[in-house]
Chain A
C-alpha cells in the first residue's frame, strides 16, 4: 500500500525491453517477414522470428488431460493442439505473436516495430463456433480434419415411454465472450547467468510454465527457475502457459542479456487468454408440479485459435450442467470449436457460469409457464438434507464417481431469500422512480479443490521464525494471510512468526498452481501436513533438550513443556529448537527442520450457493442497474472469513461485468473491437452494489482443514440471477437469453409496454 509491492514491471530495471509484433489479420498465410529495416535502427539489439528461436518443439502442449475413466464414461475426445509459439507460415488470430524485437527501451522498441514488414495472403476467417463445426467447414489448423477441439457426451436415466412430462421448454442461451482482464497485464522478465535462466512471470502456475519452457527449448528442469513476483490479479488468464514466456526465456539465453516484456493493455485485450463464449441449446421437461423429469443441454464453446485447458472447460460445463437439483434423467452433449479469435483459458468459473445460465434460465422459463415463482420451482427441485449426499451416475474428471457432498441446498436458497427478500423491491422501487425494479434468483453448484496434488513446505529458520511456501502462486487471494494462519495454528505460534514466500520453483520443486478454487483446499492442506510434521519432529527434539520422554511433551503457545517433573519449570521455545539445529547446536547432525509434504485429495469437494438480485431497468434507456445483491453459500471451514467474503464479493462484481458490460467483440472480418478500456468495459464503483454474504458452513472430510473452495462462487450464478430479475422488472415481457444483456432489447420491450 505504500508503493512497496513488487509487480513484474517493477523488477525491470537494467533489462532490455522486448516488444512483440503481432498478427494484424485473423487468418492468413504469411508470405514474408522482413525485419531488415528494424535491425539497423539505433537502439535495436535484435529482431527475431519463430525461425530464429531454435526451439525443439514449436508449440505448447495441453495443460489438462482427464482421467481415462472419465474419458470412457463421457465419450470425451480432444484434438491435438499445435498452435505455433511464433508461427512463420500461417496466422490464426489477430494478436498472435510473430516477431520479438529487443531494444534499449520500450520507446525505441515500439518505434522499431513499425519498421517490421509482414505480408500476408488472407484466408477466410472463421468467427463462429457453429459455422466452424459444420461438416463442410474448412479446418483452420492444417494437421486436423475438422475444427472440433473437444467433445463430450453424458447421458443417464433415459427417456423411456413410461416417463411423461407435463411441460417441455426449449431454449437457446448464449454467454458472450469475456474474460479475466486483471488490472495488471502479463509480463515476463528473464535474467541469465552461466548456469541457467531465471524467469519472473506474472503467473498463477509457475511449475507449469517451467515445464512449458523446458518442453519447448529442450532444457533440463534444473536449467530454468520460474519465480512469481506480486501479481496484480489473475482470475484464470494467468493460469496459462504463454508463447511470450517461452520466447523471453529462449531469447535471454540466446542473447545472454536480461530481457523484460511488459504487456500493454491493447496487447492484453487481443492476446491474453479469453473465456466463456458458449451457446446452449436446451430442452427441459418437468411434471405438473415443476419437478424436473428430463434435462437436455447441447452446447458449443468457441475456444478461439487454441485453448490449452479445453478439456477443463468442456468437462466443467458438462458436469455443472447437472446443477444442484434432483435430475433423474439427463443428456448433456458439448463440442468445442477452433475459430480465428484470440486463444482462451479457464476464466473464473470456466464453464460453470455458462452451464448455470442455461439450466437456470430454463427453470425460469418453465416456472413462468406453470405460474410459479423462480424461487418456488427451485424449492421443488433443490436437493435437501434428505437427498444428500447425492451420487450421480458418472465419474468426475479425476475418475472418481461424482457425489454431491453438501448439507441442504434448499436451505441455502432460503438463506439467500432471507438476505434479500422479494419484498425489498417495494422500497427500492420507491427510491428509484426512473427504474422498473425486479427480483431474481439463481443457484449453482461448484466442484472445487481439484487435484491431482499440491506441495507445501514449512521451514523453521535459524531465527525461530517460519517460512512457508507452496506451488500455489498468489494473485491477490491473500495466500499470505490464509497460509500463514494454517501454519501458525498447527505450529501454535503467533501469526507474526510465519512468513509466506511467493511461489518459486526453487522453493518447492513440484507444484500445480492456483486456479479452480483449489488453493485453500490443496495448498492449505499440504501446508497443514508439513506444519504438523515439523511440530512432530520438533516435539521429539524438544523432549531431548528437556530431558523428558516425547509422550510427556506438549506444545502450547509456542513453548514445549514436559508435564513430568517440576511444575512450572522452564520450557523450550521454537528459538531453542532452531538454535539446537544450527551448526554447533545439540542437533547439528539432524540438521534444520524443513518439511515438504504433498496433499493429494481423493476427489473434489462441492460448494453450493444461491444468489438473489434486485435490478432496476431504466424506463427510457433500458440500461440495467444492480441495486441489491445477496449470496448464500455452503462453504466449508473458513480459514479466514474476510478473505472468503472478499472472494465472493469480488466474484459477483466480475459476474455483473460479464452480464451487463463486458464483451470481446469482433468485426465481421475478424478484427477485435474491444481493444481499450473504453470498449471493453470493467464495472466501476457505480456499477456494483453492496453484496450481502452468508456463509453456511458445511464441513467436508475430504481434506484435513475441512475447507471447500470459494474463489468462483461469487461469479457463477450472477448472469442467471440478474437475467431473472430483469424479466421480473419488465413483467415478463422480455425473455433474456443472452449476455451481455442488451439495453436495446429491453428498450423494445419497454416501448411495447408503454404502448399497451
Chain B
C-alpha cells in the first residue's frame, strides 16, 4: 500500500511578487494555491485562520490594498503587486492595538479562533469611518455580520469595537 515516492507532483509553478506586512515576497506557487494557504503554509503566518474555506465565516479575513477580503476565496496569484496585511502585520497599527485592549477588557473573545478576522474587519471599519461621527451599535453589528463567532454571542465584541472607536481619552462608558 505504501509507495516510496514522496516528491510533490509536477505542477507548473508561477512566479509571484507581492508585499505581505510591508515585506516584499517573491515565491513560486501553484496557480491554484489560495491566498490563505500561501500565508499560512508558505509564509507561516498562521494568525489567518480557516473556519470554512468557502467564504462565509470570515475567520481568514485579511486586508489587500487596505480592503478586507476572504483569504480562502482568493488565489495567491491574485495579489501580484499588491499589499497584503494580516493580523501579524497589524501589530504596529494603533487602531488594532486599541481594539485588542478593548477585546480583553470586554471579554470579546473566548476560544480566539475568530478574533484575528474580527480585528481585521474592525480595524478597517474604524479607520475607514469619519472620526467626527460616532459609530453606532447597529453600524458595528452590520459591519461585523460577515464574521462568525461561536463562543461569545458577540456582545463583548460589539462593545469592544465601540469602545476602541471612541476617540475620547476615556473611551466609551
Contacts and interface: CB of A to CB of B under 8 A. Distances in A.
Contact of B107 (A5, A477, A646, A686): A646
18 contacts: A1-B109, A1-B116, A5-B47, A13-B44, A42-B5, A42-B9, A43-B5, A45-B5, A182-B113, A183-B151, A232-B49, A233-B111, A265-B57, A646-B151, A651-B153, A677-B57, A678-B56, A684-B147
A3 B153 contact: no
Complex A-B, nearest 5 residue pairs according to Cβ-Cβ distance, in ascending order: A3-B47, A476-B111, A232-B113, A653-B153, A42-B9
Interface string B1-14: 11101111110000
A401 interface: no
B145 A40 contact: no
Given A3-B45, A476-B110, 7 more contacts: A1-B87, A2-B87, A235-B150, A477-B110, A646-B156, A676-B52, A685-B154
B9 A108 contact: yes
Given A2-B87, A107-B32, A677-B52, A43 B149 contact: no
A233 B151 contact: yes
Interface string A438-482: 000000000000000000000000000000000000011110000
Given A2-B87, A184-B51, A653 B154 contact: yes
Interface of A: 1-7, 9-10, 12-13, 16, 35, 39-48, 52, 104-105, 107-108, 111, 181-185, 230-233, 235, 255, 264-266, 475-478, 642-643, 645-646, 649-654, 676-678, 682, 684-686, 688, 690-691, 714
B100 A1 contact: yes
Given A183-B57, A677-B148, A691-B155, A35 B46 contact: no
Contacts of B107: 642-643, 645-646
B150 A181 contact: yes
Contacts of A184: 49, 51, 111, 113
B100 A45 contact: no
A653 B150 CA distance: 8
Interface of B: 1-3, 5-10, 30, 32-33, 40-41, 44-54, 56-57, 59, 86-88, 91, 100, 103-104, 107, 109-116, 119, 140-142, 144-158
B150 A684 contact: no
A649 B9 contact: no
Nearest to A43: B9
A264 B112 contact: no
Contact of A685 (B41, B51, B59, B141): B141
Contacts of A651: 153
Contacts of B154: 653, 684-685, 688
A368 B15 CA distance: 71
B150 A233 contact: yes
A107 B34 CA distance: 11
Which of A1, A9, A43, A233 is packed against the most chain B CB atoms within 10 Å?
Answer: A1
Interface of B, helix, strand, loop or mixed by DSSP: loop
A46 B52 contact: no
Given A42-B10, A649-B152, A685 B3 contact: no
A428 to B, nearest CB: 15
Given A108-B8, A642-B107, A39 B153 contact: no
B54 to A, nearest CB: 6
Contacts of B151: 183, 233, 476, 646, 650
B80 to A, nearest CB: 20
Nearest to B109: A1
A39 B1 contact: yes
Given A183-B148, A233-B151, A264-B53, A650 B5 contact: no
Contacts of B144: 684-685
Nearest to A640: B107
Contacts of A52: 1
A691 B56 CA distance: 25
Contacts, number: 193
A233 B145 CA distance: 19
A184 B144 CA distance: 18
Contacts of B146: 684
A560 B41 CA distance: 50
Given A39-B3, A678-B56, A685-B154, A231 B111 contact: yes
A620 B33 CA distance: 45
A3 B87 contact: yes
For A39, A40, A52, A649, the residue with the greatest tally of chain B CB atoms inside 10 Å of its CB is A649
B9 A183 contact: no
Contact of A3 (B7, B48, B53, B56): B48
A104 B100 contact: no
A183, A475, A691 interface centre (most CB from chain B within 10 Å): A183
B46 A3 contact: yes
B136 to A, nearest CB: 13
B52 A232 contact: no
A255 B145 CA distance: 45
A682 B57 CA distance: 9
A111 B30 CA distance: 14
A1 B111 contact: no
Contacts of B49: 7, 9, 183-184, 232
Nearest to A656: B153
Given A183-B57, A677-B54, A43 B112 contact: no
B9 A650 contact: no
A716 B61 CA distance: 32
A265 B51 CA distance: 7
B7 A42 contact: yes
Contacts of B87: 1-3
A4 B91 CA distance: 11
A678 B57 CA distance: 10
B71 to A, nearest CB: 13
A750 to B, nearest CB: 26
Contact of A646 (B2, B32, B110): B110
B27 to A, nearest CB: 15
B155 to A, nearest CB: 5
A3 B116 contact: yes
A689 to B, nearest CB: 9
Contacts of B104: 1
Nearest to A474: B111
Contacts of B110: 233, 476-478, 646, 650
Contacts of A255: 2
A43 B48 CA distance: 26
Contact of B148 (A2, A46, A108, A682): A682
A642 B108 CA distance: 11
Contacts of B149: 183
B3 to A, nearest CB: 6
A11 to B, nearest CB: 9
Nearest to A264: B53
A265 B53 contact: yes
B36 to A, nearest CB: 11
Nearest to A257: B6
A684 B152 CA distance: 11
Contact of A233 (B3, B113, B119, B141): B113
Contacts of B9: 41-43, 104, 108, 111
Contact of A9 (B5, B46, B88, B112): B46
Contacts of A691: 153, 155
Contacts of B88: 2-3
A232 to B, nearest CB: 3
A652 B156 CA distance: 14
Contacts of A685: 140-142, 144-145, 147, 154, 157-158
B57 A43 contact: no
A232 B113 CA distance: 5
Best-surrounded residue of B10, B44, B86, B154 (most CB of chain A within 10 A): B154
A10 B46 contact: yes
